[in-house]
Amino acid sequence: MSFTIHTTRGLARRGTLKTSHGKIETPFFMAVATKGSVKAVTPSELHELGTQIVLSNTYHLVLRPGMSVIRKAGGLHRFMKWDGPILTDSGGYQVFSLAKFRKITDRGVVFRSHVDGSRHELTPESSIHIQEAIGSDIMMVLDDVRAHDVPRSVVREAVERTTAWAARSVKAKRSRTAKVFSIVQGGIHRDMRQTSAKQITKIACDGYAIGGLAVGETEKDMYAMTKLTTALLPKNKPRYFMGGARPYQIVELVKRGVDMFDCVIPTRNARHGKLYVWKKKPHTLSAFGRTFFAEMNIRSATYAKDMRPVDASCACMTCTTFSRAYLRHLFAAEEPLALRLATIHNLAFYLELMSRIQKSI
C-alpha cells in the first residue's frame, strides 16, 4: 500500500504517501511550480524550507519549452533539478481559466496558446502521455472544470465528461511508477457531487481529487461540497483539494478529510507584498479558528523604519536575517531579492502550518 494512515482525529487523517521520489507526510501542501519553477526560489531553498513535493503543469510545459526539450533533458526532475516528488496538473484548469480560447468536445479540448496564439489539442490520453514523459510522480486526469454559477445542465455534462475522461486516462496509462488521480466535479450541487464521486470511485486509481471548488463559490458551499465528497471517497486513498486554499480554509478542509493541497496564494501573495505572520501557534485542530495568523502588507510605509523581523516566531532565512524595513525597501525599490525573501517566508509559513496540522491530528 503506497498510502498509509497513521492517526485520525474526527475526519482528519495523518499518513504517509510513497512515491518514486520519496515519501510525503500528509496532510501536505504543494508549492506551485507551473512552468518548472517555484517562482523566485531555487530547489535547494525549497529543500531547506522542508518542501516535500511541488506541482507543475502540463499545459504550460507543452507550450514552453515544449516536450522535445523536456525529453532531451531527461524529464522534468533533471531539467529543473528538483529530486523530490512532482505532481502534474493535466491542463484541465487552464482550459477553464483561458475560457475564451477553448473548445471542449468529448474527444478532448482544443485551445489557443496564450504565448503565441497557436492551436493545440489536449485529450485525456495525450495529457497522460505527456505527464509520463515529464516524469510526473502523481498525474492528474484531464477534467472538465466549470465556473461555480453555470446552469445545472452544464454541470451535468461536465460531470459525465470528467468521468469518461478519467476512465480513458487510467486506461491510457503506461507508466508503472507514476500514480494517477481522478477528479470529482459537480459544482455546488449536492446531487451532482454525489453522482460524480460515485462514478469516479468506480475507476481504480491511486488517489482522488476534489476539483472545481475555490473558484468563487461561497466558503459554506466549498466546505459542504468537500465534506460530502470525502464521505464518498475510499478511506485508504489520499484526497486532494485542488487549487486551495487560505490558511484557515486548509485547517477546515483537513477537518473534513482532505490530505493534499496546492495553492498559488503563498507564492503569489509574497510577490505582491502580502506576508503571513503567526498570531498564535495552536496545538489542536479546534484551536486554530480563523485568527491564528495575520496578513502583513510589507509595502506599507508603516514598516519603513521597523527593524524587527517579519515574524519573530518564524525560523525561515528571511526572518532570521532581515528586517521588515529592509524588505519594505526592497519592494519599494523593486529589487528582485524582495520576491525571493517574501516567497521563502510565505512558503515557510504554509509549511509550518501543515506541520502543525499534522501534529494536531
Q: Which residues are catalytic?
A: 89, 262
- Rounded distance, CA 117 to CA 122, Å? 15
Among residues 261, 265, 326, 337, the alpha carbon closest in space to that of 299 is found at 326
Query: Quick one: 297 or 355, whose CB is closer to RNA?
Result: 297
Q: Which of 70, 80, 167, 183 binds RNA (CB under 7 A)?
A: 183
Q: Give the end-to-end CA distance of the chain in Å, rounded to a whole number.
A: 21
Q: Choose one: 69-77, 206-214, 224-232, 316-324; the region binding RNA (CB under 7 A).
A: 206-214
Task: Tell me the β-bridge partners of 140.
Answer: 181
Question: What is the dihedral sign for C-alpha 136, 240, 158, 57?
Answer: negative
Instruction: Based on the shown chain and the rule CB under 7 A, indicate whether residue 209 belongs to the binding site for RNA.
Output: yes
Show Cβ contacts of residue 252 under 8 Å, excluding neighbours closer than 6 positions.
223
Amino acid type, 152: R
Show Cβ contacts of residue 169 under 8 Å, excluding neighbours closer than 6 positions.
90, 124, 125, 127, 128, 139, 141, 142, 180, 182
- Rounded distance, CA 112 to CA 138, Å? 26
CB 196 within 8 A of CB 185: yes
Going by the DSSP 8-state scheme, the letter that residue 99 receives in this structure is: G
Going by the DSSP 8-state scheme, the letter that residue 285 receives in this structure is: G
Query: Quick one: 14 or 60, whose CB is closer to RNA?
Result: 60
Q: Which of 132, 143, 206, 311 binds RNA (CB under 7 A)?
A: 143
Instruction: Based on the shown chain and the rule CB under 7 A, indicate whether residue 211 belongs to the binding site for RNA.
Output: yes
- Which positions from 1 to 40 touch RNA by CB under 7 A, shown as an x/- string? -------------------------------x-x---xx-
Segment 83-122, which members bind RNA (CB under 7 A)? 89-90, 92-94, 96-98, 100, 114
Q: Choose one: 15-23, 188-196, 198-206, 240-248; the region binding RNA (CB under 7 A).
A: 240-248
Question: Residue 89 Cβ, how far from RNA at the closest point, in Å?
Answer: 3
Q: Which of 49, 192, 265, 330 binds RNA (CB under 7 A)?
A: 265
- Rounded distance, CA 140 to CA 294, Å? 33
Instruction: Based on the shown chain and the rule CB under 7 A, indicate whether residue 277 belongs to the binding site for RNA.
Output: no
Residue with cell 517566508: 345
Instruction: Based on the shown chain and the rule CB under 7 A, indicate whether residue 262 belongs to the binding site for RNA.
Output: yes
Show Cβ contacts of residue 275 under 8 Å, excluding neighbours closer than 6 positions.
269, 295, 296, 297, 298, 310, 311, 327, 342, 345, 346, 349
Burial 199-210 (b: 16+ CB within 10 A, else e): bbbebebbbbbb
Instruction: Based on the shown chain and the rule CB under 7 A, indicate whether residue 55 belongs to the binding site for RNA.
Output: yes
Instruction: Based on the shown chain and the rule CB under 7 A, indicate whether residue 42 belongs to the binding site for RNA.
Output: no
Instruction: Based on the shown chain and the rule CB under 7 A, indicate whether residue 61 belongs to the binding site for RNA.
Output: no
Q: In this structure, are strands 207-210 and 239-241 parallel, antiparallel, or unpaired?
A: parallel
User: Ramachandran region of residue 74, left (φ > 0), alpha (ψ -120 to 50) or beta?
Assistant: left
Question: Residue 107 Cβ, how far from RNA at the closest point, in Å?
Answer: 18
Question: Residue 7 Cβ, how far from RNA at the closest point, in Å?
Answer: 26
Query: Quick one: 171 or 283, whose CB is closer to RNA?
Result: 171
- With CB under 7 A as the rule, give the number of residues binding RNA: 52
Q: Which of 84, 102, 299, 325 binds RNA (CB under 7 A)?
A: 299
Show Cβ contacts of residue 196 under 8 Å, excluding neighbours closer than 6 positions.
159, 162, 163, 184, 185, 186
Chain-centroid distance, C-alpha 326: 31
Instruction: Based on the shown chain and the rule CB under 7 A, indicate whether residue 137 belongs to the binding site for RNA.
Output: no
Amino acid type, 108: G
Query: Quick one: 5 or 98, whose CB is closer to RNA?
Result: 98
Query: Quick one: 6 or 81, whose CB is closer to RNA?
Result: 81
Q: Which of 268, 282, 323, 355 binds RNA (CB under 7 A)?
A: 268
Query: Quick one: 120 or 274, whose CB is closer to RNA?
Result: 274
Q: Which residues bind RNA (CB under 7 A)?
A: 32, 34, 38-39, 55, 57, 60, 89-90, 92-94, 96-98, 100, 114, 140, 143, 145, 183, 209, 211-212, 214-215, 219, 242-246, 249, 262-265, 267-269, 271-272, 274, 297, 299-302, 332, 334, 336, 339
